[in-house]
Amino acid sequence: MLWPGTVIGAVAGYYVASIPGAMLGVLLGQVVDRQLQLRSWKELRERLKGRPTLRNDELLFIMLGRLAKADGVVAPGHIQQARQEMHDLGMSEVTQQRAIASFNRGKGGQDDLRVSLERLGSQPHATEGVLRACWRMAWADGRAGRHERELIVLWGSWLGWSVARVQALSSDYEPRQRPLASREGAYEQAMRLLGVGANTEPAMIKRAYRRLLSRHHPDKLVGAGASPAQLREATERTRELHNAYTLIREQRDFR
C-alpha cells in the first residue's frame, strides 16, 4: 500500500533531487505516515479539513451512542449496556468520562465514521470486538430495530465484512424467545413480572419498575466476584423488566 506521506515525499524528493531525493522522500514520508497514522488519502483529506483521528475507544462509544438513539429513544437498557462495556474494557475514570462524552456525541448522529472505520478495518483483531459490542447495544432493549441493523451492516461493510458475516454475530446476543399465547397473555405476564395489577396507578407501576430495575441491575454485581453467567442472567432480567414495562405503558397509554 502506498500511503499518502510516502507518495508525497517520493514525488517532492524526486522533483528536488531526482532519484536520490525520491529515496530520501520515501523514508521521510513513511515516518510522517506512521507518526500521523495516515493510511489512506481519505484520512489525509480529513486531517486537512481539521478533523482529528478518533481513538478506537472514542469511535466505539460514538457508534454505541448512535445505535442507542437509532430508534428515537435511549432506553435504560442502552445506558446499562454502555456501562457494562466500560466495565468489560477495564476503563479508568478518565477513559470512562471520555467514553461517556463520545456516547453522548454519538446520539447526535452527526459524525461521518467511514474513514475511521476503514482505518480500523486494517486491524482485524479489533473489528470483530467492535461489531459484537454494536450487536450487544442493539439488543440491549430486547429488540434490534431496522435502523440499528442497517447501521451495523453498513459499518461492517466499511470494516471489510460481508453482510452475512455481520448478521451472523447477531444471534449470539438475541434474547431468548419465550412463546406467548397472545398479546393479552403477554400483558398479564408483564404485570406479574412487575408485581402490579390491572388497576394499579401508572405512578405505582413506574415505581415498581424502577425498584426492580435497581435490584436486578448488573452493576450491583460488578466488583462482587460475579461470574460472567451471573452478569448475563442479570442483564437478561433487566431486559425482561424493560420489555414488560414498555408493554404495559403501551397497553395503558401512559408515559
Q: What is the pLDDT of residues 152-195, one digit of tens each?
A: 999 999 999 999 999 998 888 887 654 444 556 788 888 888 88
CATH 1.10.287 is held by the domain 183-252: yes
- Which SS3 state, helix, strand or coil, does residue 148 take? helix
Q: What is the pTM of this model?
A: 0.56
Q: What is the per-residue pLDDT for 43?
A: 56
Structural domain boundaries of the chain? 4-48, 56-172, 183-252
Q: What is the per-residue pLDDT for 97?
A: 94
β strands within the chain, DSSP E: none
Q: What is the per-residue pLDDT for 15?
A: 61
Q: What is the per-residue pLDDT for 180?
A: 44
Q: What is the per-residue pLDDT for 181?
A: 43
Q: Which tops the pLDDT comparison, 48 or 219?
A: 219
| Predicted confidence (pLDDT) per residue in 60-115, tens digit | 999 999 999 998 888 888 998 899 899 888 899 999 999 999 999 999 988 888 88
Q: What is the per-residue pLDDT for 25?
A: 57
Q: Is the dihedral of CA 42, 48, 50, 56 positive or negative?
A: positive
| Predicted confidence (pLDDT) per residue in 104-147, tens digit | 999 998 888 888 898 888 777 789 999 999 999 999 887 888 99
What is the rounded distance in angstroms from the CA atom of residue 192 to the CA atom of residue 186?
A: 10
| Predicted confidence (pLDDT) per residue in 6-52, tens digit | 556 556 655 666 776 667 655 665 655 465 555 555 555 555 555 55
Where on the phi/psi map is residue 54: left (φ > 0), alpha (ψ -120 to 50), or beta? beta
